Structure 1
Amino acid sequence: MAQPPRRPRTLADARTEAEAAFKKITAKQAEAPPKQVAVPGIREQVTLRIDQDVLEHFQQDGPGWQDRINAALRKAAGL
């Protein structure tokens, strides 16, 4: 059985194949960032959305409301 005639390679095809092979070899592999261990006493600033009544509950006793929220979250998390 006769095979269909092969299409001649063009410069663009060879270049495309070469570029793809080069990228495959030289591309950096995506690595997950190393998981950081929580260090006691170091805090991180975050944005947190909570219900208004919950916020008012913690703020009603004045300054230190963020520490009270943190303590409640630690207790809930079993830490």
Structure 2
Amino acid sequence: MSATLKTRSGRLVELPTPEEDARINAGIAADPDAPELDDAWFARARPASEALPPEVYQGLLAIRRRRGERGPQKAPTKVATTIRLSPEVSAAFRATGPGWQTRIDEALKDWLRTHDPA
């Protein structure tokens, strides 16, 4: 049985066996385009703010997002809004799992196809 590691998010990661690990390390050592980084490499490393031209570094900072923050949509197709739902409706849709807001949107579109909203 292979060893596993549980991540903070709860995922189980299967660790390589010693034989697999030896093959991986041999492959790394044999690849001249991907040398293993050693202490000397890290001693020479510099922060991006020093290594890159200022305009490139500023461009990278401009596109940086915080954790969980979505990037801009290519073509925004939805409008952010607030809606108050009854507890029963909210609970029923939330119980269906991720994507429940999209399913509410689909239900409302279906209602519009069969009713005159005016």
* Normalised-by-shorter TM-score class: 0.3 to 0.5
Considering fraction of residues, name the structure with more strand: 2
Bigger CA radius of gyration: 1
